[in-house]
């Protein structure tokens, strides 16, 4: 009898410690790895929400950019991190297509991560240099078909969200082009502005200032409907190219086996921060559409994309150069 009482007391004590640990989190700064370069949409959008989350959690959420290999280098570092809530991953839809592009990944995108929530979704916009003399998306496609393989397009890596947009549109429009990956979005956009690369399916959050300044010309957006900030720019769908749309989610993940209590807290604070007027206004300015999903709901989105994007990558023969 005494042994049973002793064991019960130990178990209750352990449960109490676990509960206290979950309640005390975060007791120190939290590191958030972004597996793409500074200035990309996958970098800019999370920073806006993470700042609001930091204020609510009472601890800094410190961003670390670890770019390379289509986001897989930074993602791998989080997959191997301790599941204590102090190392997180903020990444894009590139996370879901990684298995199709990198067959020897050191991690499993579903089993090794816990989806926390989405910062929002960002459409991409097809931009060219004004000097290209291409005023419409139809003229763009006609020129690309007339000169097979002469067009080049930028991305921030094979399998990145902007690469997916470009390939999806190219497959629908039926022309050939040469892919040129860069380390970061700023470099990619600079090359298009200079006319050294023909086009870029740039995240609207990054492209808007350059479109307004006349440094690039917007020909079409990848969203299902026109954007409020670019009402005169048609969608790729209404321009006559079926199955060419792609709106990219950007979300937050934790290593597998992270405490459900910590994940629930992160999801709650992410949604609360994204809904505050100051953060919401900034996200609207960046062209971000809200995705107020629970952790479980976001997880279903990710799992579905792993399947559909794998099918798409195989259909068009997307692979490492």
The two tokens of residue 180 are: 């040129």
Place of tokens 């989190």: 25
- Determine, yes or no, domain membership for 8: no
Distance CA 157, CA 310 (A): 17
Residues 174 and 92 in one domain: no
- Determine, yes or no, domain membership for 163: yes
DSSP 71-106: GHHHHHHHHTS-SSSSEEEEEETHHHHHHHH-TT-S
- Determine, yes or no, domain membership for 56: yes
Residues 142 and 183 in one domain: yes
Residues 54 and 100 in one domain: yes
Please give the average pLDDT of every successive group of 10 residues along the chain, which has 321 residues: 49 46 82 91 94 97 92 96 98 92 92 98 95 96 96 90 91 96 88 97 91 97 91 96 92 98 98 96 89 97 94 82 58
- Determine, yes or no, domain membership for 130: yes
pLDDT of amino acid 156:
85
pLDDT of amino acid 321:
58
Where residue 33 sits, what CATH number does that domain have? 3.40.190.150
pLDDT of amino acid 12:
54
Question: Which structural domain range is residue 144 located in?
Answer: 123-221
The greatest distance separating any two alpha carbons of the chain, rounded to the nearest whole angstrom, comes to 88
Distance CA 151, CA 220 (A): 17
Distance CA 313, CA 231 (A): 31
- Determine, yes or no, domain membership for 82: yes
Alpha helices in 224-276 (DSSP H): 260-275
pLDDT of amino acid 319:
72
Distance CA 26, CA 23 (A): 8
The two tokens of residue 58 are: 């009472």
Residues 211 and 146 in one domain: yes
Q: Strands 152-155, 199-203: parallel, antiparallel or unpaired by DSSP?
A: parallel
Residues 173 and 259 in one domain: no
Residues 130 and 90 in one domain: no
Distance CA 162, CA 241 (A): 17
- The answer to whether 165 touches 94, Cβ cutoff 8 Å, is no
Where residue 192 sits, what CATH number does that domain have? 3.40.190.10
DSSP 159-214: T-HHHHHHHHHHHHHT---EEEE-SSHHHHHHHHHTTSSSEEEEEHHHHHHHHHTT
pTM: 0.83
Residues 210 and 257 in one domain: no
- Determine, yes or no, domain membership for 2: no
Place of tokens 């900030």: 229
- The answer to whether 117 touches 298, Cβ cutoff 8 Å, is yes
- Determine, yes or no, domain membership for 140: yes
Residues 137 and 114 in one domain: no
SS3 65: strand
Residues 112 and 261 in one domain: yes
Number of domains in the chain: 2
- The answer to whether 153 touches 197, Cβ cutoff 8 Å, is yes
Residues 293 and 253 in one domain: yes
Tell me 246's DSSP state.
-
pLDDT of amino acid 23:
56
- Determine, yes or no, domain membership for 6: no
pLDDT of amino acid 259:
98
Distance CA 111, CA 101 (A): 18
Residues 212 and 266 in one domain: no
CA-nearest of 234, 238, 205, 196 to 218 is 234
């Amino acid at each position: 009898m005494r042994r049973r009482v002793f064991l019960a007391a130990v178990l209750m004590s352990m449960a109490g410690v676990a509960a206290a640990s979950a309640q005390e989190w975060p007791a120190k700064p939290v590191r958030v790895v972004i597996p793409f370069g500074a200035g990309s949409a996958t970098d800019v959008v999370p920073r806006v929400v993470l700042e609001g989350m930091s204020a609510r959690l009472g601890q800094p959420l410190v961003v670390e950019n670890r770019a390379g290999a289509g986001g897989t280098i930074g993602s791998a570092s989080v997959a191997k991190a301790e599941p204590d809530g102090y190392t997180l991953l903020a990444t894009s839809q590139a996370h879901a297509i990684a298995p199709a592009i990198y067959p020897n990944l050191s991690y499993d995108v579903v089993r090794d991560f816990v989806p926390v929530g989405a910062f929002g979704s960002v459409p991409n916009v097809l931009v060219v240099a004004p000097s290209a003399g291409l005023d419409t998306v139809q003229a763009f496609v006609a020129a690309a078909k007339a000169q097979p393989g002469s067009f080049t397009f930028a991305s921030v890596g094979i399998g990145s969200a902007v690469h997916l947009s470009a390939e999806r549109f190219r497959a629908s429009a039926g022309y050939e082009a040469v892919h040129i990956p860069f380390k970061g979005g700023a470099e990619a956009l600079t090359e298009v502005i200079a006319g050294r690369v023909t086009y870029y399916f740039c995240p609207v959050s990054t492209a808007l200032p350059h479109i307004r300044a006349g440094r690039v010309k917007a020909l079409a957006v990848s969203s299902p409907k026109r954007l409020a900030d670019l009402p005169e720019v048609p969608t790729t769908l209404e321009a006559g190219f079926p199955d060419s749309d792609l709106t990219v989610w950007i979300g937050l993940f934790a290593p597998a086996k992270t405490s459900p209590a910590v994940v629930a807290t992160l999801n709650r604070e992410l949604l609360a921060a994204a809904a505050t007027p100051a953060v919401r206004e900034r996200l609207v300015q960046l062209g971000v559409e809200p995705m107020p999903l629970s952790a479980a709901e976001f997880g279903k989105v990710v799992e579905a994309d792993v399947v559909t994007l794998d099918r798409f990558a195989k259909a068009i023969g997307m692979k490492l150069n």
